[in-house]
Amino acid sequence: MHLGLIGYGNIATLLPRILGQQGALPSRIDVLVRPGRASAARAAFGDIAVTVHEDTGAFIATAPSLVVEAATHAAVKTSVLECLRAGLPVLIVSVGALADAALETAVREAAEAGHTQAHLSSGAVGGIDMLAAARLSGITSVTYTSRKPPMAWRGTPADDALDLPGLTQATTFYEGTARQAATDYPKNANVAATIALAGAGFEATQVRMVADPTVTANIHEFTVRSGALDFTVTLEGKPSPENPKTSVSTVYALARTVLNQTAPITV
Which residues are catalytically annotated?
220
Q: Which of 172, 203, 205, 204 is nearest to 191 (CA)?
A: 205
- Does 86 belong to an annotated binding site? no
The CA–CA distances, whole Å, from 122 to 92, 149, 247 equal 9, 22, 12
Tally the C-alpha atoms within 13 A of residue 202's C-alpha that lie toward its C-beta: 16
Question: Residue 71 is which amino acid?
Answer: A
- Collect all residues with Cβ–Cβ distance below 8 Å to 206 and sequence separation of at least 6: 141, 142, 143, 144, 175, 176, 177, 178
**Count of positions (residues) in the chain:** 267
- Does 190 belong to an annotated binding site? yes
* 113: helix, strand or coil: helix
The Cα 250–Cα 242 span in angstroms is 13
* 157: helix, strand or coil: coil
- Please report, in range form, the residues annotated as the binding site: 124, 190
- Please report, in range form, the residues annotated as the binding site for NAD(+): 124, 190
